[in-house]
A and B are shown apart, each in its own frame.
Chain A
Amino acid sequence: MTRSAYDVARTVTDPEMPMLTLEDLGVLRDVTEEDGAVVVAITPTYSGCPAMATMRDDLVHRLRDAGYDDVRVRVELEPAWSSDWITERGRAALEEHGISPPGPADHRSGPVVLNLLPTRRSLHCPRCGAAEVELTSEFGATACKALYRCTACLEPFEHVKEI
């Protein structure tokens, strides 16, 4: 085996946002090798994220293909995933593929404040760069994205939510 297990695991991509590796998404938490056995720790973005099983299968297959026969994937629930864990490279990849990357997540502790106004985010359109955008919906095609529309070029786009 020429590549370390981590080097193999870090190239596995997210099934729903394939421009991102699991490492760039911040979902890949840890890879350990002991006596030829590999243990990979991943964390879900959202509790119901249906991509978890696919990520697990992809990790196992890729590592097996690289010669690691004994692979276990462990789920780490804490600390809970934050969009802040998406790397700079991941943010650039999202933007390049027309998806607006998340801003900083709110890390205030204590009771969550009720917000009855549309979430204000300072974004720009990933297609034309204009700052005139409007929120269509806080929920998108995957659990982690909101829907936006650019009022300059009129194209819709997705935004990875701050969480």
Chain B
Amino acid sequence: MSHSAPDPNDAHGSVFDGLLGSDDSQWAFGTDFEDPLAGVDTTMPEGVAPAALATYCVMLADDALVLSHRVSEWCSNAPDLEEDIALANIALDLLGQARLLLARAAAADPSVVPALPEGSPVPPEDALAFFREAGGFRNVRLSEVDNGDFAHVVCRILLFSTVRLALLERLRESRDRVLAAVAAKGVKELAYHRDYAGRWFLTLAQGTDESRRRLVAALDDLWPLYPELLATHAVEDEVAAAGVGVRPVDVSAEVEVVLEQVLAMSGVERPERRALAGVRGRTGRDGLHTEALGRMLAEMQVTARAHPMGQW
């Protein structure tokens, strides 16, 4: 809270006087940031380097955070109110997952958190979300590209949630208790996201010529970004070997089965597009992004960056 309560003895008073009680309970979200992992046991599991666990958590968090922001851009823009609400809910679930994962990363290895001015009240999860440059983000590029039409966001959520659901299903067995717990909750949420996107995929494919044309075009547009979701980074190899993380390559077969099911039922051909190349082998997981991420972050981060000492 950045405003101090008006002095009730002030003769001039304030229009807000009546709103202010004797305590802070009128502030629906409290007067302070809350740690989403408050009281959760964040002890490190043995046999894994803190830096690797933290980086892995940042990868999973950034995928969700960046896509959450993109999906939230649909708020008030969806074809009808129900889809508006659905997309906002999906964005909120992903944001919740991102918060827990960023907090987990910071607890595992505080050195991943960007430095802020001394005395800044910004908590680690927010420092990670708002004070990293695009090159510090480790999300897959599917999360960051600009929005298109409604078919585009349906295809994007379908590809994303199919892979993430498969990953989190296995991550429930992680030796890291926090990751296992975040995954167990996430599985329930992502099952709704995948079904939502799958149903709309089918509906648009079997709808009008125009809806089908748009769906096929959107899938074709996003397909080059799909292989990156299933590529395995060295950090993922490392945490998987330690029984803490999951290698995307290990879930690729089951992901393919689900996508083939959706494509077959919808009567849509699998696009023949090659993967979007990285630069010298570097992709989103290494901090190599499309220019869309920089523009997105500029908007997402501008207020927090203008007030590094701010308390919200």
Q: What residues of A have a CB within 8 angstroms of the CB of B27 in the complex?
A: 57
Min CB distance, B297 to chain A, in Å? 20
**Among A117, A137, A139, A163: residue with most chain B CB under 10 A:** A139
Q: Is B289 an interface residue (CB 8 A)?
A: no
Q: Is B89 an interface residue (CB 8 A)?
A: yes
Q: What residues of B have a CB within 8 angstroms of the CB of A118 in the complex?
A: 199
Q: What residues of B have a CB within 8 angstroms of the CB of A61 in the complex?
A: 23, 25
Q: Is A112 an interface residue (CB 8 A)?
A: yes
**Known contacts A75-B36, A111-B166; A143 and B265 CB within 8 A of each other:** no
| Cβ contact within 8 Å between A112 and B187 | yes
Min CB distance, B208 to chain A, in Å? 19
Q: What residues of A have a CB within 8 angstroms of the CB of B97 in the complex?
A: 47-48
| Cβ contact within 8 Å between A48 and B96 | yes
Interface of A is mostly: loop
Q: What residues of B have a CB within 8 angstroms of the CB of A46 in the complex?
A: 92-93, 96, 185, 189
Q: Which of B93, B165, B191, B192 contacts A48 (CB 8 A)?
A: B93
Q: Is A56 an interface residue (CB 8 A)?
A: yes
Q: Is B194 an interface residue (CB 8 A)?
A: yes
Q: Is B284 an interface residue (CB 8 A)?
A: no
| Cβ contact within 8 Å between A54 and B90 | no
Min CB distance, B65 to chain A, in Å? 11
| Cβ contact within 8 Å between B34 and A77 | no
| Cβ contact within 8 Å between A138 and B177 | no
| Interface band, chain B | 35 or more
Q: What residues of B have a CB within 8 angstroms of the CB of A57 in the complex?
A: 24-25, 27, 29-30
**Among B82, B165, B182, B190: residue with most chain A CB under 10 A:** B82
Q: What residues of B have a CB within 8 angstroms of the CB of A74 in the complex?
A: 38-40
| Cβ contact within 8 Å between B262 and A138 | no
Contact residues of B with A, CB < 8 Å? 23-25, 27-30, 34, 36-40, 82-83, 85-86, 88-90, 92-97, 99-100, 165-166, 169, 177-178, 180-182, 184-192, 194-196, 198-199, 202, 254, 258, 261-262, 265
6 cross-chain pairs, A with B, having the tightest CB-CB distances, nearest first: A48-B96, A74-B39, A47-B96, A77-B181, A139-B86, A137-B82
Q: List 22 A-B contacts (CB under 8 A).
A: A15-B28, A44-B185, A50-B92, A53-B28, A53-B29, A53-B30, A57-B25, A57-B30, A75-B38, A75-B40, A79-B184, A116-B202, A137-B83, A137-B86, A139-B86, A139-B88, A139-B90, A143-B92, A147-B82, A147-B85, A161-B192, A163-B188
Contact residues of A with B, CB < 8 Å? 15, 39, 41, 44, 46-50, 52-54, 56-58, 61, 72-81, 110-112, 114-119, 136-141, 143, 147, 161, 163
